[in-house]
Amino acid sequence: MNAPTPYFDITDEEFNRIVSTNLLATHLACQIFGKHMVDAGGGAILNIGSVTSFRPLSRVFIYSASKAGVLSLTQNVARELAPHGVRVNCLCPGFFPAEQNRKILDKSRVDSIIRHTPIGRLGDAPELIGATLLLLSPVAGSFITGEAIYVDGGFTAMTI
């Protein structure tokens, strides 16, 4: 959940809605499913972050803060559950056209994103599958916990 509200216009209600949807819900899911996995002797949790977990973006202030919180939560829960055989990681997508971001992805913003993405385009949903399978795999991902994988076309690697 996000909103393109200018910073000084963000209401407490909007702030709480975004943080509750993105961060509180992730925390509750980690608690509920993490406990089941601990009791079962292991498992893997995959939280959904964002490129904004690492680098804040304009026009999505609270979204960026909540997704940074998801990354921090992921790392802390990973440390807590690792001794019980539960791995916790974070998939951080870059820019993928979706209903939730249509309000902020006007042509000028898309052009700016593409200029800052070395691959030179937005992502396609199937491109998230490989990283997801790796992070959830009981073999290939068995030594990966507390990590974030950015599937962003190089956006987080770009500077000037």
16-62 pLDDT, tens digit each: 999 999 999 999 999 999 999 999 999 999 999 999 998 888 778 89
User: Would residue 62 count as lying in a domain?
Assistant: yes
Print the domain residue range for 55. 7-157
Sign of the four-CA dihedral 7, 99, 111, 147: positive
Domain count along the chain:
1
User: Would residue 35 count as lying in a domain?
Assistant: yes
Q: What is the pTM of this model?
A: 0.92
User: Would residue 2 count as lying in a domain?
Assistant: no
What pLDDT is attached to residue 102? Answer: 66
- Active centre residues (catalytic): 63
Q: Where are the alpha helices (DSSP H) in the chain?
A: 12-19, 25-40, 61-81, 107-115, 129-136
